[in-house]
Amino acid sequence: MPFSSLITATIETVLNRLIQDDPMLVRQAARLKGQSVQIHLKELDQTLTFVFSQQVDVLNGYEGQPDCFLSLKLSVLPQLKEQANITRLIKADELVLEGDMRLAQNFSVLLTECQPDPEEWLSRLTGDVVAHSVVRGAKDLGHFFQAELIRHQSHLGQVITEEWRIAPGPLEVADFCDQVDDLHSQLARLEARIQHVSRNIDNQVADKQ
């Protein structure tokens, strides 16, 4: 099986399973029945066609004329739910849309809300208790790695400022600013004294004349 066919088969299987598991998604998919949406994904330079009937068929080759054609980056797809965004994206050359705009919006809503629930799927294989424990453990592990990343970033900042002396620390910056202010004040006072002495000399010369 070609790799592109494997991708479409996987997308089709997962998408149909997600829709079947959620009555709300079933109703949303029913609104698209009898229609087709073709998407050109810029990141992959790949074109997929979604044909809606009793289920969703995902094709990498489609000879018919789709009801709606979209060319975009995958990150743009959720923004199509709002008509104002569609107009803005087209003007910004981030979206090419041909065909039914309303269909594009409904398609965006369906795909955006097709969010898999790992715990629900895992529970079918292991049971609710084990699935909950595994998912909870995965979340805790993710939080741990996130906290470690933040800690290491903070440590690196301290190393750069305190040990490697590549960048000045906050106290050093503040002290430097204070020194600059003091120097500025000293120069101002010196300038005032020079002007005062200069005026005295001028007055003395005038008196002698």
Of the candidates 50, 44, 9, the one whose C-alpha atom is nearest the C-alpha of residue 32 is: 50
| Residues 123 and 110 grouped into a single domain | no
Q: Does one domain contain both 25 and 112?
A: yes
Phi, psi of 38 (to 5 degrees): -110, 130
Question: What is the pTM for the complete model shown?
Answer: 0.56
Check whether residue 134 and residue 110 sit in a common domain.
no
d(CA 132, CA 127): 9
Which structural domain range is residue 186 located in? 169-209
pLDDT digits (tens, 9 = 90+) for 112-151: 888 765 545 445 545 555 444 544 554 555 555 566 556 6
How confident is the model over 69-81, as pLDDT tens digits?
999 998 888 898 8
Query: With bands split at pLDDT 50, 70 and 90, how would you rate the model's confidence at 170?
Result: low
Number of domains in the chain: 3
Query: What are the start-end ranges of the H helices in 21-127?
Result: 23-31, 83-91, 101-113, 118-126
Same domain? 82 vs 136: no
Work out the pLDDT band at 6, boundaries 50, 70, 90.
Answer: confident
Q: What is the mean pLDDT of residues 48-68?
A: 91
Q: Can you name the residues that pair with 36 across neighbouring β-strands? A: 51
Give yes or no for residue 172 having a pLDDT over 50: yes
